[in-house]
């Protein structure tokens, strides 16, 4: 069984992924800012769980988490970078501090984790890196400038890094979900078509990871429509966005 580090493990997709991986018998380092939320898993799966507490947006905290993993296991076979956040830009109220917060967690958080974890992945067996992106990176949506920009940057970063890491035998998988029922999405004030439960999303991801795919997307119809709409001419995408904003 693999040695895995999972960030953002205390809620949503991360919590569901943690349960799936533990049920499969993997050794799992659970990363979260709230260690207390994960203690029940450590108690339920004795000997399998390593609790690593810290904020992925803080370099020194990430380094401390990975140092704890290195002391315990010496290497990692699977890294799942799932931690993230979402805030929306309201029309007429552009907020650069909001954009910075979202980018700091969603983009720089991934970068901090990559810098710390890649040396351990290089020592692992059939190493695989999995990063949580978003289907929003295919199509610009109203109010989603900060979140969408962060996930578009993650997509480019991971697709570029995949080229470099392929020479080292490290598989890189980008996960691009649609709407999933999590504490973050429950704050949304707009319709969320084809909403999946976190448990369904986690199972869908876990079943596909052994194939080491380049990308995992779901739901199929929703993500296909977004990709097709994202390929429309810019003027048409603007008209679509304006219509969604009015709705």
DSSP string, the chain: --EEEEESTTSHHHHHHHHHHHHTT-EEEEEES-GGGGHHHHHHSTTTEEEEE--TTSHHHHHHHHHHHHHHHS--SEEEE-------PPTT---HHHHHHHHIIIIIHHHHHHHHHHHHHTTSSS-EEEEE--GGGGS--TT-HHHHHHHHHHHHHHHHHHHHHGGGT-EEEEEEE--EESTTGGG--S--TTPEEHHHHHHHHHHHGGG--SEEEESHHHHHHHHHHHTS-HHHHHHHHHHHHH-
**CATH number of the domain residue 146 falls in:** 3.40.50.720
Q: Any catalytic annotation for residue 147?
A: yes
Q: How far apart are CA 178 and CA 226, in angstroms?
A: 9
* Residue percentage of the chain with pLDDT more than 70: 99
Residue 3: name the closest of 116, 131, 24 by CA.
24
Largest Cα–Cα distance of the chain, in whole Å?
Answer: 56
Cis peptide before 219 (omega within 30 of 0): yes
Q: 150-208 pLDDT, tens per residue?
A: 999 999 999 999 999 999 999 999 999 999 999 989 898 888 999 999 999 999 999 99
Q: How far apart are CA 247 and CA 233, in angstroms?
A: 21
Q: What is the pLDDT of residue 221?
A: 95
Q: What is the mean pLDDT of residues 58-79?
A: 98
Q: 99-157 pLDDT, tens per residue?
A: 999 999 999 999 999 999 999 999 999 999 999 999 999 999 999 999 999 999 999 99
Q: What domain range is 83 assigned to?
A: 3-246
Query: Is 6 within 8 Å of 28 (Cβ atoms)?
Result: yes
From 45, 88, 147, 204, active-site residue: 147
C-alpha radius of gyration, the chain, whole number: 18
Q: Which residue has the higher pLDDT, 246 or 221?
A: 221
Q: What is the pLDDT of residue 247?
A: 61
Q: How many structural domains compose the chain?
A: 1
What are the structure tokens assigned to 173, written together?
């998988």
Q: How far apart are CA 223 and CA 209, in angstroms?
A: 19
């Amino acid at each position: 069984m693999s040695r895995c580090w999972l960030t953002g493990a205390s809620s949503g997709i991360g919590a569901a992924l943690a349960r799936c991986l533990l049920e499969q018998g993997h050794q799992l380092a659970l990363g979260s800012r709230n260690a207390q939320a994960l203690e029940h898993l450590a108690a339920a799966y004795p000997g399998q769980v390593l609790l690593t507490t810290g904020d992925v947006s803080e370099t020194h905290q990430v380094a401390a988490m990975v140092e704890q993993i290195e002391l315990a296991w010496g290497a990692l076979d699977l890294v799942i970078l799932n931690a993230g956040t979402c805030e929306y830009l309201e029309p007429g109220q552009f907020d650069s501090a909001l954009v910075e917060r979202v980018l700091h967690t969603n983009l720089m958080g991934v970068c901090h984790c990559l810098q710390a974890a890649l040396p351990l992945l290089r020592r692992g067996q059939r190493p695989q890196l999995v990063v949580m992106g978003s289907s929003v990176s295919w199509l610009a949506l109203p109010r989603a400038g900060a979140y969408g920009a962060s996930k578009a940057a993650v997509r480019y970063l991971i697709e570029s890094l995949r080229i470099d890491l392929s020479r080292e035998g490290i598989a890189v998988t980008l996960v691009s979900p649609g709407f999933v029922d999590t504490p973050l999405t429950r704050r949304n004030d707009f319709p969320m078509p084809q909403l999946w439960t976190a448990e369904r999303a986690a199972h869908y991801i876990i079943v596909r990871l052994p194939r080491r795919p380049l990308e995992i997307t779901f739901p199929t119809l929703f993500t296909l429509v977004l990709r097709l709409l994202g390929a429309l001419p810019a003027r048409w995408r603007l008209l679509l966005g304006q219509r969604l904003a009015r709705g």
